[in-house]
Chains A and B, each alone.
Chain A
């Protein structure tokens, strides 16, 4: 007992904690500072922003940027809906395929599990590169300007499959599968009814990776989508930022006041809107996420 109370007053412990608080606080400020800058910018009047630049707190709180952003909300709402649709379907389908594959590949009685695992892993160490991949998807599969182009490439990665395989291996007792077999259940039924319900942390972890990938996707859209109606939310923002830059340059050249170009603060409001729900996802899956990474990353 005395050992522990002694530890509490140990000067080294105090020194450690002072150091720890200093560094962790520094890291917290480093991470949150740019985000505050953006949020503050979105609540600042555009003229003030142009006059005084970005600041940590708006001198005059203003909702104008958001009002302006949603004056013609059709495009944003469309990008929002399509991104939600892509994220939900892509994540659901990806989770289904990945967990199914992970389950099969960890079955000890499945003879080709190592060969197939290696074939999947191999794609992460060698590939044809971006250009042949682009030609394949656009010229052979004809995915340009289809919603499929935004769903297909993000469905799975070899890393996530191996993570899931290892997770199932380490967290699902073999007895569960055996008991299913004794009851005469088929392999798919065992996966669906017995395995899926007990791998929630693995599903949450992989699901978070997938959903984040879909939500923040701009790259695939930039390659395959030219129709504005099919833009992902991030690409919509990217497009807006670029056309604003261009308008600014034109305005500067043409002698028009930069202040008349729709503005800085609207862009910041769009950033806040585009980040939206994904940032609130983490607290919900946080509990599972850590155990998902831990168990899945242990090499099996």
Chain B
């Protein structure tokens, strides 16, 4: 009886299905139309174009008539050693950005949340947030004004101290360090505000109770603030790990541009693809590199998400 009883409404539900739903909620569906169109045109239809990765693309042939070359583009990317180097740079930079960035943001947020002096806190918070509003084009001008050989601030200071000027734009080894610095500069304020908001969400009762138990300020941070920030940290961490194959294109392209001297230490997948499209017009190769990036990134997300779902389902991305 139960079997029939449950299956009958189930069947009925199937029959009324999608079209009934559209009819019933016509307005709700209409409200989704612009968004649906956007994602179809901007994200889903272009996926068809990954076919270029298997062609030696030319504009005359277009998508369907360019010569098919199988996996040649991938073979070239792997054999030239490019793919390995680009992947390493992309992931290594992102890992440093993520961990160092989050560490400093949490540290700063804790300091700001517990220190005295309302006005100073407000002003400091606003100033630290300033770089977030500055465009990457402007960041590149800032970098130039700091490190330009003739007029840069760094060399000006060195000269006035009687030291030899320093040719940063021809010294590749210093750039990994600099890129991290620039990235921290730009993102410090935003991350700090996010963590600060999370700290503000912690109930004051915890702190009051800890004070009654005699916990000092450092103990309160150690045993209340930090443990309660862990969920926010893990959420942001997983979100960031999901994008680990996507480099900070704006940062790298604007600061390094087409300075080939620095490519070994600063070229990431995104800048390589951009140059393939804009400079070399190598559609096939560019598509191949970005398809590799997409698939590799997708696999990383799936693996991370599966592990997280097993261990801590609450943190799973989906």
Residues of A participating in the B interface, judged by any CB pair closer than 8 Å: 3, 7, 10, 12-13, 16-17, 19-21, 23-25, 27-28, 30-32, 34-35, 37-38, 41, 49-50, 52-55, 97-98, 100-101, 103-104, 107, 109-112, 116, 118-121, 123-137, 139-141, 152-153, 155-156, 158, 161, 186-188, 191, 212, 215-216, 218-219, 222-223, 234-235, 237-238, 241, 258, 264, 267-268, 271, 274-275, 278-279, 281-283, 286, 289-291, 293-294, 297, 299
Q: Does B100 make an interface contact (CB < 8 A)?
A: no
The interface stretch among B3-11, B27-35, B82-90, B260-268 is B27-35
Closest approach, in angstroms, between the C-beta of A180 and any C-beta of chain B? 12
Residues of B participating in the A interface, judged by any CB pair closer than 8 Å: 21, 25, 27-28, 30-32, 34-35, 38-39, 41-50, 52, 62-63, 107-108, 111-112, 114-117, 120, 124, 126-138, 140-142, 144-146, 150-153, 155-156, 159, 185, 188-189, 193-194, 196-198, 200-201, 211-212, 216-218, 232, 235, 242, 249-250, 254, 270, 273-274, 276-278, 283, 286-287, 289-291, 293-295, 297-298, 301, 314, 318
Q: Residues of A contacting B126 with CB < 8 Å?
A: 282-283, 286
Q: Are A223 and B278 in contact (CB under 8 A)?
A: yes
Q: Are B287 and A132 in contact (CB under 8 A)?
A: yes
Q: Residues of B contacting A116 with CB < 8 Å?
A: 32
Q: Roughly how many angstroms separate A20 CA and B291 CA in the complex, as a whole number?
A: 46
Q: Residues of B contacting A35 with CB < 8 Å?
A: 130-131, 134, 142
Does more than half of chain B's interface fall in helix, strand or loop, or is it mixed? helix
Question: Given contacts A24-B111, A27-B188, A294-B197, could you give 7 more A-B pairs where the C-beta distance is less than 8 Å?
Answer: A13-B217, A35-B131, A127-B47, A135-B49, A136-B41, A188-B30, A212-B132
Q: Roughly how many angstroms separate A19 CA and B108 CA in the complex, as a whole number?
A: 11
Q: Residues of B contacting A123 with CB < 8 Å?
A: 39, 43-44
Give the residue of B32, B151, B211 whose beta carbon is less than 8 angstroms from that of A104: B32
Q: Are B189 and A31 in contact (CB under 8 A)?
A: yes
Q: Are A132 and B136 in contact (CB under 8 A)?
A: no
Q: Residues of A contacting B47 with CB < 8 Å?
A: 126-128, 132
Q: Are B135 and A128 in contact (CB under 8 A)?
A: no
Q: Residues of B contacting A153 with CB < 8 Å?
A: 42
Closest approach, in angstroms, between the C-beta of B179 and any C-beta of chain A? 15
Given A97-B34, A104-B32, residue A23 in contact with residue B111 (CB < 8 A) = yes
Q: Are A241 and B145 in contact (CB under 8 A)?
A: no
Closest approach, in angstroms, between the C-beta of A274 and any C-beta of chain B? 7
Closest approach, in angstroms, between the C-beta of A151 and any C-beta of chain B? 11
Q: Roughly how many angstroms separate A111 CA and B159 CA in the complex, as a whole number?
A: 69
Q: Residues of A contacting B25 with CB < 8 Å?
A: 109-110, 187
Closest approach, in angstroms, between the C-beta of B155 and any C-beta of chain A? 7
Residue of A nearest to B218 (CB): A12
Q: Residues of A contacting B254 with CB < 8 Å?
A: 218, 238
Q: Are B198 and A294 in contact (CB under 8 A)?
A: yes
Name the residue among A27, A111, A222, A275 with the largest chain B CB count within 10 angstroms: A27
Residue of A nearest to B239 (CB): A159
Q: Residues of A contacting B283 with CB < 8 Å?
A: 131, 135
Name the residue among A16, A98, A155 with the largest chain B CB count within 10 angstroms: A16
Q: Are B115 and A219 in contact (CB under 8 A)?
A: no
Give the residue of B124, B150, B197, B218 whose beta carbon is less than 8 angstroms from that of A24: B124
Give the residue of B46, B145, B216 whose beta carbon is less than 8 angstroms from that of A38: B145
Q: Are A128 and B136 in contact (CB under 8 A)?
A: no
Residue of B nearest to A135 (CB): B49
Sorted from nearest, which 5 A-B pairs have the closest CB atoms? A132-B49, A129-B290, A53-B156, A216-B135, A20-B115
Give the residue of A134, A218, A281 whose beta carbon is less than 8 angstroms from that of B136: A218
Given A186-B27, A290-B197, residue A130 in contact with residue B290 (CB < 8 A) = yes
Give the residue of B21, B27, B277 whose beta carbon is less than 8 angstroms from that of A188: B27
Q: Residues of A contacting B32 with CB < 8 Å?
A: 100-101, 104, 116
Q: Residues of A contacting B156 with CB < 8 Å?
A: 52-55
Q: Are B152 and A129 in contact (CB under 8 A)?
A: no
Q: Roughly how many angstroms separate A124 CA and B245 CA in the complex, as a whole number?
A: 12
Closest approach, in angstroms, between the C-beta of A195 and any C-beta of chain B? 11
Give the residue of B46, B135, B185, B216 whose beta carbon is less than 8 angstroms from that of A30: B185
Q: Residues of A contacting B115 with CB < 8 Å?
A: 16-17, 20-21, 24
Q: Are A130 and B49 in contact (CB under 8 A)?
A: no
Closest approach, in angstroms, between the C-beta of B132 and any C-beta of chain A? 8
Closest approach, in angstroms, between the C-beta of B158 and any C-beta of chain A? 10
Q: Roughly how many angstroms separate A58 CA and B14 CA in the complex, as a whole number?
A: 75
Q: Are A278 and B133 in contact (CB under 8 A)?
A: yes
Q: Residues of A contacting B235 with CB < 8 Å?
A: 297, 299
Q: Residues of B contacting A186 with CB < 8 Å?
A: 27
Q: Residues of B contacting A131 with CB < 8 Å?
A: 49, 52, 273, 276-277, 283, 286-287, 290
